A and B are shown apart, each in its own frame.
Chain A
Amino acid sequence: MTLWIWLLIACVLAYAWKLVGYFVPAKFLEDPRTSRVAGTMTIGLLASLTVVNAVVSGQALAADARLGALAAAAVALVLRAPFLVVVIAGAGTAALLRILGWN
């Protein structure tokens, strides 16, 4: 139930961000640091989410089949595969490594 509440708050705030651009006078957002922070934070969050999903297990670090998924995704991206192919490569590699006994 509490997950529902946070989920709905996230939805409201996401829409609020979007609306801000349409209603706040442009000069408030013209400070170059605003768009820079938006950009660096996007990079930082995505890098962090990648790492957390690859090597974090609870409050510990773990090296398991997800590392293989990370490597496979990187290879697919270097080969310029589309998003869905990258995701399938990650899933397939993790699944395969588990069949081979590496959890």
Chain B
Amino acid sequence: MKLLASPAVRVGISISIATGLYGVSFGALAVTSGLNFWQTMVLSLLLFSGGSQFAFIGVVAGGGSGLAAMSAATLLGMRNGIYGMQLNALLRPTGWRKYVGAQLTIDESTATSTGQTDPAEQQRGFWTAGIGVYVLWNLFTAVGALAGSGLGDPKQWGLDGAAVAAFLALLWPRLKGREPIAIAVVCAVATVVAVPFVPPGVPILVAAVVAALVGWFSHGRRDEGLEPDVEPYGTHGHGHHQDGPGDHQDRHGGPERRSGTDPEARA
């Protein structure tokens, strides 16, 4: 089989390179926020979900406890369960593939797979992006961690500013329309209000509770926030949703319609 002739494989490879590269920023930020090299690597090897990894080190960098860091990372990982359900319906993996596929279930592999309509292409897209991102993300995490530990004072290099930028970049593509922006503002305010009263790291969990309550009691889109910040099939690599895979799925009514989410966002 000529693998490179498959659109899903080509998209999977390009998204792997783009995502893998910013593993450098994760590796560098992790070691400067106080993790050692192997703690940094274990997060990329085992936790393997970019948003949760950044959340963990973000809480640690702010002086938060390990418990708060773990909680923030875990709450942010909930959407991977939704992706897993969609991919299970789409790819129907069996045996060991379920367990390996689960570890590779992240925003990028989900988006690459569900953007295809042909079942064989969906398979190729998932595995190419999943394995590709895994290998490159870990490789570049190591590069970043080694480079970061030789930097000296991280503030001098603006690495705390890099963390701010990284979180805004993760949030940005999900802010489409008034409702997600309102949720973001309410949670930002809740965070600021909580800061003087609770230990570091906990304001983030306060915001999570507020967000969960909003989601539970309001009636908006089912897929709010589960939006692409990767756009494997768009013309632009990052953050905008003109004709993303979710749109294709909406038109073609793929199996994941039943699950009610738009399974494209960031790891």
Residue numbers of A with Cβ under 8 A of B are 2-11, 13-15, 17-24, 26, 29-30, 32-56, 58-61, 65-66, 68-70, 72-74, 76-77, 80-84, 86-96, 98
Give the size range of B's interface with the partner: 35 or more
Which residues from 46 to 61 on chain B have a C-beta closer than 8 Å to any C-beta of chain A?
Answer: 46-49, 51-52, 54-56, 58-61
Complex CA distance for A52 and B56, rounded to whole angstroms: 13
Q: Mark B16-30, 1 if CB is under 8 A from A, else 0.
A: 001001101100000
A residues in contact with B167, CB < 8 Å = 46, 49-50, 53
Please judge, given known A-B contacts A6-B66, A69-B165, whether A22 and B98 are in contact too, CB under 8 Å.
Answer: yes
The complex places the Cα of A55 from the Cα of B225 at a distance, in Å, of 24
**Are B102 and A51 in contact (CB-based, < 8 A)?**
no
Which of A13, A21, A81 has most chain B Cβ within 10 Å? A21
Contact check, B196 vs A59: say whether CB atoms are below 8 A apart.
Answer: yes
In the complex, chain A residues whose CB is within 8 Å of the CB of B83: 18, 21
> Which residues of B sit under 8 angstroms from A5, Cβ to Cβ?
66
- Residues on B with C-beta less than 8 A from A3 are 34-35, 39, 60, 66
**Bound complex: CA of A2 vs CA of B39, how far in Å?**
12
Query: CA of A70 to CA of B70 in the docked complex: distance in angstroms?
Result: 25
Contact check, B258 vs A17: say whether CB atoms are below 8 A apart: no
- In the complex formed, the residue of B with least CB distance to A90 is B165
Number of CB contacts from chain A to chain B under 8 A: 361
A37, B200: Cα distance in complex, Å? 24
Beyond the given A91-B159, A92-B158, please list 17 additional residue pairs across the A-B interface where CB-CB is below 8 A: A6-B66, A7-B39, A14-B48, A14-B80, A22-B101, A29-B81, A39-B79, A44-B214, A46-B167, A49-B72, A51-B191, A52-B59, A77-B169, A84-B24, A87-B162, A94-B162, A96-B158
Closest chain B residue to A12, Cβ basis:
B46
- Asked if B161 contacts A66 (CB within 8 A), the reply is yes
Closest to A5 in B: B66
Do residues B157 and A43 form an inter-chain contact, with CB atoms below 8 A? no
Name the B residues within 8 Å of A51 (CB-CB).
Answer: 188, 191-192
Known interface pairs A15-B103, A52-B191, A56-B203. Does A65 touch B161 (Cβ–Cβ under 8 Å)? yes
Return 7 A-B CB contacts under 8 Å, by A number: A21-B102, A39-B222, A40-B183, A47-B207, A48-B187, A73-B164, A76-B165
A47 B188 Cβ-Cβ under 8 A: yes
A68: min CB distance to chain B, Å: 7
CB–CB A87/B190 < 8 A: no
